[in-house]
Structure 1
């Protein structure tokens, strides 16, 4: 594991093209090119950025959100698809690792999904948010432990979590125990106001300190015109503002560049991996500072399925007959 390198990272704060998978994808491809022009070797985008975060579910009651939910199905991303191929091609062309949030459609279900592309365009990881939060449970299904892994990439060992997954200490510890060097965090942005900005600040800085890794965090942003597209109710429009905090944090919990809390922009910083050793020399929470004889994490890393495959191995003929009917 190389701790002598330096990696330039970019966290993108950006607004989607509402209601358009293709339009938002074009913005992603443009941002990848801009990040590469700045010398970035890693670029991180917001939570479920393609086609857009389901803000409608935060301001509409379930009985009224059917139309918008259906529209999200129509614009959601399948994996693989022309969207993932385009992003992979861009990653390869610019030799840059890409972490991208999407609304993934898997037949009749949607998921909050994080994709990690390596600098050669390979899709290293497709993981789904393990527990959607509050209103999100009306939109997305649940992920599983198969996505709680750290992947080896051209820029180091990468882990990723979305939004309030960072409030699940065991989920974070699962990644920490795999010695992630760069943690890629994603939040929706433009929600709840300053309190959400403050909470993100606490969350990402604490994870950097506790894990002894870098945190590259990206949040989305909505313009006033986009907020008006989502709801015409002025009272509800107020809750679709603030809550942005795009930032890059070092292993000692410090900002490595000015954070972005409003508008579109790109936070860029150089990640000196020797700082990981400097931090962990003092406190390695999965090494010399851990007590596995007292406290251990048990992780079910098996992907779940609606069909138990043990049944198919025991009764293959019956399954074949059912499939033929």
Structure 2
């Protein structure tokens, strides 16, 4: 359960430093400190904002993506590593929960990974997007169900999903059934156009209502110079504008602050945790309003490995010794 009756939330609309993990992380740490100075207890950053979302994959054909994809490999984040150490230090220094999206490198594969740092700087959740969307499948591998859960932090119980994972109702239900109090969502922003922001609005408000939780949503933002550096085609540049909608939503589906749809900045709002009980008294989707004997969900939370190594000789000796 939440440790405070009112939690101050921050949602960051971040302009990344393209292809530069360290510079982007330094901006992130500055935003962590700025939000903490305003009394924030939690801050959420956009999807894979370190070093940046792979916008190139949406506008370039596969045959031209090689150099940009390799550049992303070179700047991707190893967990744990120097980048996560910087963020952990800032979280601990400020006593704030940080939810961060990164391009994670695990040897030869990249993953869309979400990290939750607790107020002591410890990573309490690392999860990988279970199904990259459309063009993203050329960039990232698939995650598993091991991170599909809510986690306790010093301020509240938190669940996270990335972008169109919110269109997988069973993924959302897994977090609802794990009793998330604050749902942290991350989108790339600066993609698809205004319709993307409109769809995000509907999706986030509906999840808040259905889950009976608060939603903190963070999106990225690109300026014109960055967009032109990704593609010189005027028509394709339109596909990299709009789509920003950083927002904070109550369990009643209401905006708690005016959303950010342009530019870089930090959105703040107070979360009155009593509103969770107020909503769930009327409609608890995973409690008195559910019918588990009719409808239920099975979640495989196995952390799958490509190889399991065992030494049968040691196992046999241990069994003999126990006789």
Partner of 2:310: 312
- Note closer, same or farther for the CA distance 1:2–1:57 as it changes in structure 2 (3 Å cut): closer
Contact 1:3 1:274 in 2 (8 A): no
* Cα distance, 1:295 vs structure 2: 0.7
* Cα distance, 1:2 vs structure 2: 4.3
- Note closer, same or farther for the CA distance 1:315–1:63 as it changes in structure 2 (3 Å cut): farther
Deviation string, structure 1 residues 253-308 (Cα, Å, up to 9, x no partner) = 0000100000011110000110000000000000000000101100000011112x
Contact 2:3 2:154 in 1 (8 A): no
* Cα distance, 1:85 vs structure 2: 0.6
State the distance in 2 between where 1:74 and 1:100 align: 19
> Do structure 1's residue 176 and structure 2's residue 176 form an aligned pair?
yes
Contact 1:162 1:185 in 2 (8 A): yes
> Do structure 1's residue 241 and structure 2's residue 244 form an aligned pair?
no
Consecutive unaligned residues of structure 1, counting only runs of 5 or more, are 318-325
State the distance in 2 between where 1:316 and 1:105 align: 33
State the distance in 1 between where 2:220 and 2:154 align: 26
Would you say how many aligned residue pairs link Structure 1 and Structure 2? Answer: 315
Partner of 1:52: 52
Question: Residues 94-243 of structure 1 correspond to what in structure 2 (within 5 A)?
Answer: 94-243=94-243
State the distance in 2 between where 1:87 and 1:274 align: 30
Contact 1:149 1:174 in 2 (8 A): yes
> Do structure 1's residue 255 and structure 2's residue 216 form an aligned pair?
no
Consecutive unaligned residues of structure 2, counting only runs of 5 or more, are 316-323
State the distance in 2 between where 1:205 and 1:314 align: 53
State the distance in 2 between where 1:2 and 1:160 align: 16
Q: TM-score under structure 1 normalisation?
A: 0.95
State the distance in 2 between where 1:230 and 1:207 align: 33
Partner of 1:277: 277
* Cα distance, 1:218 vs structure 2: 0.1
Root-mean-square deviation over aligned CA pairs: 1.3
* Cα distance, 1:160 vs structure 2: 0.2
State the distance in 2 between where 1:47 and 1:2 align: 25
Contact 1:189 1:219 in 2 (8 A): yes
* Cα distance, 1:312 vs structure 2: 3.0
Partner of 2:319: none
Q: TM-score under structure 2 normalisation?
A: 0.95
Q: Segments of 4+ in structure 1 off by > 6 A?
A: none
Partner of 1:291: 291
Contact 1:196 1:243 in 2 (8 A): yes
Partner of 2:79: 79
SS, match of residue 36 in structure 1:
helix
* Cα distance, 1:75 vs structure 2: 0.4
* Cα distance, 1:155 vs structure 2: 1.5
State the distance in 2 between where 1:71 and 1:280 align: 47
* Cα distance, 1:211 vs structure 2: 0.2
Contact 1:29 1:87 in 2 (8 A): yes
* Cα distance, 1:313 vs structure 2: 5.6
State the distance in 2 between where 1:306 and 1:288 align: 41
State the distance in 1 between where 2:153 and 2:311 align: 36
Partner of 2:67: 67
State the distance in 2 between where 1:137 and 1:312 align: 33
SS, match of residue 83 in structure 2:
helix
Deviation string, structure 1 residues 133-154 (Cα, Å, up to 9, x no partner) = 0000000000000010111001
